[in-house]
Amino acid sequence: MAHLRAAGVSLVLDLSGGFLPRVLHWGADLGALSRPALEDLRLARRPQPIGFSVDGPVPVAVLPEQSAGWLGTPGLVGNRGGADFSTAFRVREATLVADDDRPDTGGRVVVRADDDTARLGLELTVELCPAGLVRQRATVVNRGASRFALDALDLTLPVPTAAVELLDFTGHHLRERSPQRTPFTQGLRVRENRTGRTGYDAAYLLVAGTAGFANRAGEAWGVHTGWSGNHRTFAERTFHAVSLLGSGELLLSGEVLLEPDASYTSPWQYGSYGDGLDDLSARFHRHLRARPRHPSTPRPVVVNTWEAVYFDHDLARLRELADAAAAVGAERFVLDDGWFGSRRDDRRGLGDWYVSDEVWPDGLGPLTDHVTGLGMQFGIWVEPEMVNEDSDLARAHPDWIMAAEGRLPGRARSQQVLDLARPEVFAHILERLDELLSTYPISYLKWDHNRDLVEAGHRTTGRAGVHDQTLAAYRLLDELRRRHPGVEIESCSSGGGRVDLAILERTDRVWVSDCIDALERQQIQRWTNALIPLELMGTHVGSGVAHTTDRRHVIDFRAGTALFGHFGIEWDITRADPDDAARLGEWVALYKELRPLLHSGTAVHADHPDPAYRVHGVVARDASEAVYAIVATATSELYPPGPVSLPGLDPDATYRVRPQAPGDVPDGNASRWGVDLPWWTPQGVHLSGRVLADVGLQAPVLFPERLVLLRATRV
């Protein structure tokens, strides 16, 4: 038995009988349990041996096996020429690594097992991280003399029968991470992603929870697969009172064929338990922030050129944009698509990573010198994994394009996919990017990935290649980071199509969505934040008319939405109204003031009963201060609206709560008619954290698609 505890979470593993590990409990901390108490817990959890597919209870391991009597989804699927279709692993060694002096900081169990009949070896690692996050993965080794075809290697975590609802996500380009709820009933609910990237409509997080679980209420258990290629996520419930959340890489037919002594390692599966969704998310955030490579410097204000100039690259115009960016306080200037080869539109030139002589006859030096001379960092857009057929690279090496035998896949965005798993392709792309980063003072790469992988095969073998392509992309990112450790990289994939914890091991932020319509972003950013902290989320202010929706928004709503993330600007501010430009400068200044709080504090979301209003914020780790946004997304059925609660503060402390400029203008009918909200003054009110959470304070009347900010400071 192993009892791992950390940050209010217990993970109890049954390692007895030579079977693979079984989870007896994953959830709220059980406190210190003696060895006899753990044995009694195991006894207390054993069901009556009736109604099973075999006589006696059926142990369901984190890698479930049919040989144990489990007839649900098996953990390992494969065969050796049609034989060895079912495994029966027996543990030969189990090692517990934990700090005996600090039993509440988690630990790790490593199990090594063999199936002598199937001639397979297995290593399982199950961890409880200091943040209370469960992390597990498996490696299978072919011990036989013939090839073993591996079709699936999925890991599971059990949840209690009290978890009766499921939350996962769907979406599409410009509407990523859209939540959906379903009952957790008997049977199998499977979400599969075959796009070759994390995907817009991936399950992202699959959460099981008690009835009506919400941001601040109910228990919730969630899993995430740390993998940027095809993956599979499922929830399974049987009439034997077994409920599982599972996931793993989705392997295409014949994609992983293990030769003798070869091995396959699954992606990390992450599991988070929480008292409400905010608590569940906070474990992911604390885990990510504890990484050695987590961004530690202040996240600079970004200006990206895409929605300002598109493909119209002109030195004078871009210098003017850089001047305007510096004037409002920007700290990083990113040159987007169109700087290389024949790339004057999105149908040609991709893959020719040479500075265009046509657009930049003197190279990028005149622009980079101007940008850095203004005190800003310089960044640039690349899409290394893709190629246009109309490019010098594709004409010279048509065989470098991934394809099924005998035909090219259909074009998407006029693009095809380069086979990075081929050594010569990998070496060429690495050489071109290395040359670019060595020639110019580039401190940031916006790394894009703009199409799904359709029929992505290796032409040399005819086999499916998404698995190899994903690993090759990781190696390319890793090697560039090794050669250029000061360069930060953003994961962009037609917006938010590649957001997962594996890509974030190699990148410093994600582009949340190509849609920067502030109303759409309210939901997209909220659910991106369900997994990752704000400092890893690219959140930009667009122009007054949204590029992707044609919706109009005032500057305060756009900037106040972008504030909660890694703030940037995607807008030709040389053409901005002077008042808007000045107002933008005020929001930039506020972001710089607040980013230490925003990027280290705990994200909170109120469970507000009015669907027209949302309340979210960030509370400092020591609860000394907080900032909140009250957001009106529609008209309320109440007039004026009711009170809003401010969650997450120290219940026993007193806070001064007041409006926060420049988000202190309650733009609505009441203010325009001169009807003031009594407490809405620079002095504000003094209330305890308990009162603010349980009673709340009156929200101002707001027009739809407006927001205001509140600042809370402990006194």
448 catalytic per annotation: yes
Contact 165, 223 (CB under 8 A): no
Assigned token pair, 38 = 């753990």
DSSP state of 526: H
Give the C-alpha distances (Å, rounded to integers) separating 422 from 256, 258, 465, 522, 579. Answer: 16, 19, 10, 41, 54
Contact 558, 545 (CB under 8 A): no
- Which of 84, 336, 352, 448 does the annotation list as catalytic? 448
> Regarding beta strands 442-447 and 488-491, do their DSSP bridges make them parallel or antiparallel, or are they unpaired?
parallel
Nearest to 255 by CA among 503, 85, 74, 461: 461
Contacts of 384 (CB under 8 A, 6+ apart): 353, 418, 429, 433, 447, 476
Cβ burial of 450 (10 Å; 0-12, 13-18, 19+) is buried
Contact 319, 370 (CB under 8 A): yes
* AA letter at 223: V
Residue bearing tokens 């029929």: 455
**Residue 307 CA neighbour count, 13 Å, CB half:** 19
DSSP state of 607: -
Give the C-alpha distances (Å, rounded to integers) separating 368 from 380, 433, 437. Answer: 10, 17, 12
Assigned token pair, 485 = 């450790």
Cβ burial of 284 (10 Å; 0-12, 13-18, 19+) is buried
* AA letter at 679: W
Contact 672, 645 (CB under 8 A): no
Alpha carbon distance 616, 565 (integer Å): 13
Assigned token pair, 715 = 């006194």
For residue 666, say if its preceding peptide bond is cis, omega within 30 degrees of 0. no
Give the C-alpha distances (Å, rounded to integers) separating 380 from 369, 504, 508. Answer: 14, 19, 15
Contacts of 526 (CB under 8 A, 6+ apart): 605, 614, 616
> Regarding beta strands 488-491 and 509-511, do their DSSP bridges make them parallel or antiparallel, or are they unpaired?
parallel
Q: What are phi and psi of 400, to 5 degrees?
A: -80, -5
Q: How far apart are the first and last CA of the chain?
A: 48
452 catalytic per annotation: no
Alpha carbon distance 540, 524 (integer Å): 13
- Which of 336, 514, 556, 667 does the annotation list as catalytic? 514
Q: Which residues participate in catalysis according to the annotation?
A: 448, 514
